[in-house]
Amino acid sequence: MREAESIGRVGSWERDLVTNAITWPAGMFDLWGVDPNTFDGNYSAAREQIHLDDRPALDAAVGGCISTGVPFRVRYRITRANDKAQRWIDARGEATMSNGRVTRIGGALADVTEMVLADAEAVAAQEFQQAVFSASPDIIAVWDFDSASITWSNHSITEALGYSQQDVAEMGT
């Protein structure tokens, strides 16, 4: 199981709401960069590794699960203890009820850092491409075959051809 967790950069967790203790399998320690011999298993200690800006969203998700029993899903950043690397985590959790109240929550999480970074690079590349197209003196337009209309054009279609923005918007309709 530890190998599977390590290779997949995933892990499971459980939090006892009575004792506030967290139970992690061995792979979670690797994921968080924590020495299992120094981790006391307390939720507050684990929470310290979560980025300050992301704690309110995590607290709201966990708090909502505890108060309502509704499962949660949240993305947050951690700073690994051993190498101080920032990692993006997707976490899911659900409640365990006992005598009509939530006594435990547990779930799984995955390190999605590479996906988050790739998405950010794709957005940056798209924004750069859009800026280049927008600034080009050439006429550039995007035609949507489904709606038979122009969905985007740069400034040159109006400047070079003398169309108004309304004319461009009505093309094909």
pLDDT in tens, the chain (173 residues): 566 566 567 788 999 998 888 888 888 888 888 888 888 888 888 888 999 999 999 999 999 999 999 999 999 999 998 999 999 999 999 999 888 889 999 999 999 999 999 988 998 999 998 888 888 888 888 888 998 888 888 888 888 888 887 887 777 65
On whether the CB atoms of residues 15 and 105 are closer than 8 A, the answer is yes
Residue 98 confidence (pLDDT): 87
Contact 168, 150 (CB under 8 A): yes
Contacts of residue 32, Cβ cutoff 8 Å, sequence gap at least 6: 46, 49, 78, 80, 81
Pick the CATH number of 2-116 from 2.60.120.10, 3.40.50.10890, 3.40.190.10, 3.30.450.20: 3.30.450.20
Domain ranges in the chain are: 2-116, 136-173
pTM of the model as a whole = 0.73
Whose structure tokens read 């298993």?
A: 41
Identify the residue whose tokens are 């505890």. Answer: 66
Read off the DSSP letter of residue 138.
Answer: S
| pLDDT number for residue 137 | 87
Asked if residues 27 and 5 have their Cβ atoms less than 8 Å apart, the reply is: yes
